[in-house]
Amino acid sequence: MLAWWFILVGALVTYAWRAAGVALSGRIDPNSALMRWISCVAYALLAGLIARLIVAPQGAVGEVALWIRLGAAGIAILAYFLFRRSIPLAVAAGAGFLMAITAVL
């Protein structure tokens, strides 16, 4: 029975924050300096995570040579711009290159 109370309290806290976000969203200026800063921080975190996945990966990807991982990232970036900024096609191109080159070597 105690577990149900924890679940209920956790759900209430979660939905309270969501409700507060919905209530405040109409008052937030997306072009304000604070929101631009938050956007920059989010992009920086994403770039850092991607760089870490390429330069210092763990697991099976860590067994692939660095030049192959960098090549796959380069192919993905090139495909992104060639295919009109299509993220799914860029990811597919980078992953395809990674799989193809590791199968050959």
pTM: 0.65
Token pair, residue 3, equals: 């577990």
Q: Beta strands of 1-105 (E only): which ranges?
A: none
Determine contact, residues 61/53, Cβ cutoff 8 Å.
Answer: yes
* Residue where the block lists tokens 């990807």: 61
Q: Mean pLDDT, 10 residues at a time, over the chain (105 residues)?
A: 88 90 85 92 95 91 91 96 95 95 88
Question: What count of Cα atoms within 13 Å lies in the side-chain half-sphere of residue 89?
Answer: 9
DSSP structural state of residue 82:
H
